Amino acid sequence: MEKSFDVIIIGGGPGGYVCAIRAAQLGLKTACVESRGTLGGTCLNVGCIPSKSLLNLSENYRKAKNDFNQQGIEISEIKLNVEKMMSNKSKSVQVLTKGVEFLFKKNKVAYLRGKGVIFSKNEVVVYDNNNETSYKTKNIVIATGSAPTSLPGIEIDEKNIVSSTGVLSLEKVPSELIVIGGGYIGLEMGSVWSRLGSKVTVVEFLDHITPGMDREVSKEFQKILTKQGINFKLNHKVTSVTSIQNKAVVNFTNNQTSERIRIECDKVLVSVGRKPYTEGLNLSKVGIKKDEKGRIEVNEKLQTAIPNIYAIGDVIKGPMLAHKAEEEGIAVAEILAGQAGHVNYDVIPGVVYTSPEVATVGKTEEQLKNKNINYKVGKFPFLANSRAKVNNETDGFVKILADFKTDKVLGVHIIGPHCGDMIAEMALAMEFGATAEDIARTCHAHPTFSEAVKEAALSVDKRAIHS
């Protein structure tokens, strides 16, 4: 086994494994250390992939139960088998994590199993059970990701009080689920269990859900989720969560009236955010600095305070998203190979995979107002889109924000069917500096949901055809 590399990447998540493959493609002798036992990180094992599997399956169940009959598809009995659903999810995860292992072999990336510790700027030691192996390297990339956080005094036991990891593997449908935190993970997982039959209540400290999202979209999103049966307690502070036998008790207080509420439920999901994971890496010894939020500090080339040690993904600043980690992984690999690796942080899309989906890229209206940027708004409702109409998926709208003078697209915010895929067109447009006029003049196939994007672009200059 090789003991000396051009680059060793610590962490095999979407940041780390993509960086490893790209570095190997560029001819660098590359190794990737992963302690989990499988590659793919949080995303493939306990994040994006298993959650999307359950979102898809639970939506199919909901449709079969609630919609099919009215659409002329009569099914006499629909039975939910949670165990089968979970094994379906696990199979998808397994296939994809094995797929990354295959890609490592194909690209000649050395897969080092175990926990990586930085011994010096040119040495990584890997601990695997009782074995300890030292490797020399010219460069190191830290891609150790993040872990769920909790609130002070609330202990996650992964039985009654679960994190995003535990909520992906419940053995049966809880009759009542309390979700603490109205961010995208809480809303996606709340949607899954609500569709499968749970009474779901989201308790959020702020007066709105999905902080950071364009406020008009966030309001519409909450309205739609409420219509689907999810309860919201906004502006409420959770004061305690305790586990009593097979139940959990949540106490929370109304921020405005100080009214206290106590709910007894089967499960509590604590989804209040994630923290960068740097445990045991030996950062301070080698002189790597962290900011006040525990994130590794990097410069624009993703270098830490030690020039040959880089950091990418959830462990540094920026949105905690798999595709952001991947872009950074590719940028670092290209920088190491002498190329001009770069990430455009202004054009990182974000998607919430509920039904309907929510997808955004670029600036929100609130951000533009704060920066005193003059803008125009174009909007188009899916109610007026023919494909949405025939598919009975008319909730939501497309909103395009364009510079008042230049017409350049500054932000796009969509709530509606399949917009997680449609946002790619908007990201591409923004990468190329497109104007709303460019989008409006682009021929979009009929009948597609994407015609709503073209109409919203036309609406920027008040010339939408179908509304």
Ligand X SMILES: Cc1cc2nc3c(=O)[nH]c(=O)nc-3n(C[C@H](O)[C@H](O)[C@H](O)COP(=O)(O)OP(=O)(O)OC[C@H]3O[C@@H](n4cnc5c(N)ncnc54)[C@H](O)[C@@H]3O)c2cc1C
Please state the closest distance from residue 144 (CB atom) to ligand X, in A. 4
User: With CB under 6 A, what is the number of residues at the site for ligand X?
Assistant: 36
Of residues 115 and 295, the one with the C-beta less far from ligand X: 115
User: Which C-beta is closer to ligand X: that of 35 or that of 235?
Assistant: 35
d(CA 30, CA 411): 38
Among positions 139, 164, 201, 210, the unique one binding ligand X when judged by CB under 6 A: 164
Q: Which of 245, 242, 243, 223 is nearest to 234 (CA)?
A: 223
- Decide if residue 89 touches ligand X (CB under 6 A): no
The window from 137-145, 379-387, 396-404, 422-430 that contacts ligand X (CB under 6 A) reads: 137-145
Beta bridge partner(s), residue 31: 8, 110
- Please name every residue paired with 125 in a beta bridge, in sequence order, or none if there are none: 117, 134
In this chain, which of 140, 170, 320, 452 binds ligand X, going by CB under 6 A? 320
Does residue 319 have a cis peptide bond before it, meaning omega lies within 30 degrees of 0?
no
CB nearer to ligand X: give 320 or 436: 320
In this chain, which of 219, 237, 323, 376 binds ligand X, going by CB under 6 A? 323
- φ, ψ of residue 398 to 5 degrees: the values are -110, 135
Q: Which of residues 286-315 bind ligand X (CB under 6 A)?
A: 313-314
Q: Is there binding between residue 190 and ligand X (CB under 6 A)?
A: no
Q: What is the sign, positive or negative, of the torsion defined by CA atoms of 46, 50, 111, 340?
A: negative
Which stretch in 154-162, 215-223, 277-285, 449-457 sits in contact with ligand X by CB under 6 A? Answer: 277-285
Type of residue found at 322:
A
Task: Spot the catalytic one: 236, 342, 413, 446.
Answer: 446
Closer Cβ to ligand X, 145 or 416, answer by number: 145
The letter for the amino acid at 149 is T
Residues 3-42, interacting with ligand X (CB under 6 A): 10-16, 33-36, 41-42
CB of 323 to ligand X, least distance (A): 5
What CA–CA distance (Å, rounded) separates 27 from 43? 27
Comparing CB distances to ligand X, the nearer of 56 and 255 is 56
Exactly one of 47, 174, 182, 341 binds ligand X (CB under 6 A); that residue is: 47
Judged by CB under 6 A, which of 53, 146, 355, 364 binds ligand X?
A: 146
Interface with ligand X by CB under 6 A: which range of 142-150, 199-207, 226-234, 374-382?
Answer: 142-150
Annotated active-site residue 418? The verdict is no
CB atoms inside a 10 Å sphere around CB 141:
30
Judged by beta carbon, residue 34 or residue 266, the one nearer ligand X is 34
Task: Identify which of residues 15 and 378 has a Cβ nearer to ligand X in the complex.
Answer: 15
Please, what is the minimum distance in Å from the beta carbon of residue 420 to ligand X? Answer: 9
Cα distance between residue 267 and residue 198, in whole Å: 10
The interface mask with ligand X, positions 399-428, x = CB under 6 A, is ------------------------------
Q: Does position 325 bind ligand X by CB under 6 A?
A: yes
Cβ closest to ligand X, residue 1 vs residue 75? 1
Contact positions with ligand X (CB under 6 A) in 328-357: 353
Q: Which of 9, 28, 248, 281 binds ligand X (CB under 6 A)?
A: 281
CA distance 111 to 141: 14
Which of 116, 166, 378, 416 binds ligand X (CB under 6 A)? It is: 116
**Contact set with ligand X (CB under 6 A):** 10-16, 33-36, 41-43, 47-48, 51, 115-116, 143-146, 164, 185, 277, 280-281, 313-314, 320-323, 325, 353
Q: Which residues are catalytic?
A: 446
